[in-house]
Amino acid sequence: MSKVHNFSAGPGILPIDVLKQASEACLNFDNMNLSLLEISHRSKNYVAVMDEARALIKELFEVGDEYEVMYLGGGASTQFAMVPYNLLTETGYAAYVNTGVWSSKAIKEAKIIGNTKVIASSEDKKFNYIPKGYEVPNDADYLHITSNNTIYGTQMKSFPKCSVPLVCDMSSDLFSRKVNAKDFALIYAGAQKNIGPAGSTMVMVKKDILGKTGRKMLSMLDYQVHIKGESMYNTPPVFPVYVTMLTLRWLKQHGGISWIEEINQKKADLLYGEIDRNSMFYGTAAKEDRSFMNVCFLLHKPELEPEFDKFWNSLGISGIRGHRDVGGYRASIYNAMPIESVQVLVDAMKEFEKKFA
């Protein structure tokens, strides 16, 4: 079978070694002669998986016991509600920075829970840049940001300094680059971009920010309940957590975050370099805010899109059509994307220019 170069925005590409191990576990997990999909989530074999998956997050983030890690269902979209439910007090307010569709949805959910203020936004230019120079209030219950904007191809290159708890949705660039995790009170991410398959959501929270809302909590929405239950208050997303554990192992074994950050930089430089050089294409995001994970670009002559579509399809390239809100093309180059696949796309763009410029 010929290779497909998978630039899907999510669920995203996974390492081939991880896929092989995961498929084997579906038939015979941990030499039990049972499928991972069949065993009790409370068996010692699976508890060891959950323990390692949680521990690897803290190890890669280089944080200590002041933080707890959970794997929950419901996607990052459920966290849009769980964050304010667990952190927003009945008399206080939450501050949000709006940088795209997902932060807009987070703001919508927070407003249902309590008082919510948008302190900065890039909506005025269709979210093609990251707001800068805004003042962070020192009396908010927390500040919520989105580190990478999958749809619009923008990424925060630095994070706001603030005296209130900093909360970050890192769904599409988690573990793609080094960050100082201790600057954050809570980090959450859907697994399906960089650390696993769809179906589980990682939440890492600093314990001392919890239990201060003054409201009576529903058990399934209470971080403290899930922490006490070690991510197994209810049946967890067993298979997605296992594949996430394998992906985190893969990342650690190859050199960790510094290793993958260097590779991701090279991939982004290669593709953006061609977009800027090529007379047929142009990028949509402000150059200083370009995402290293989701590269959005358009044709100067949109009438040639059908021709370009046929061209890249013929080369085994998949998943680069842009989101409907932006149009054009979006190449998602998550951690497991090899630079060789990026080179195939770059070569396709060069050939297309020769033929149609």
Q: Catalytic residue positions?
A: 102, 169, 193
Q: Radius of gyration over alpha carbons of the chain, in Å?
A: 21
For 77, the token pair is: 């979209």
Phi-psi region of 139 (alpha: psi -120 to 50; beta: other; left: phi over 0): alpha
Q: Is 28 helix (H, G, I), strand (E, B) or coil?
A: coil
DSSP letters for 218-238: PGGG-HHHHHHTTT-SS---H
> How far is the C-alpha of 46 from the C-alpha of 40, rounded, in Å?
7
Burial string for 170-185 (b: 16+ CB within 10 Å, else e) reads bbbbbbbbebebeebb
Closest to 181 in 3D by CA, of 194, 193, 168: 168
Give the 3-state secondary structure of residue 269.
Answer: helix
Closest by CA to 242, choosing from 51, 8, 83, is 51
Distance separating alpha carbons of residues 197 and 191, to the nearest angstrom: 6
Annotate 110-161 with three-state secondary structure: HHHHCCEEEEEECHHHCCCCCCCCCCCCCCCCEEEEECEECCCCEECCCCCC
Pairing of strands 201-206, 67-72: antiparallel
Q: Give the three-state DSSP class for 169.
A: strand
Question: Contact, 341 vs 5, CB < 8 A?
Answer: yes
Give 45-79 as a DSSP string. HHHHHHHHHHHHHHHHHT--TTEEEEEESSHHHHH
CA distance 187 to 148: 13
Rounded to an integer, what distance in angstroms lies between the CA atom of residue 200 and that of residue 184? 21
Q: Which tokens go with 302?
A: 């949109």
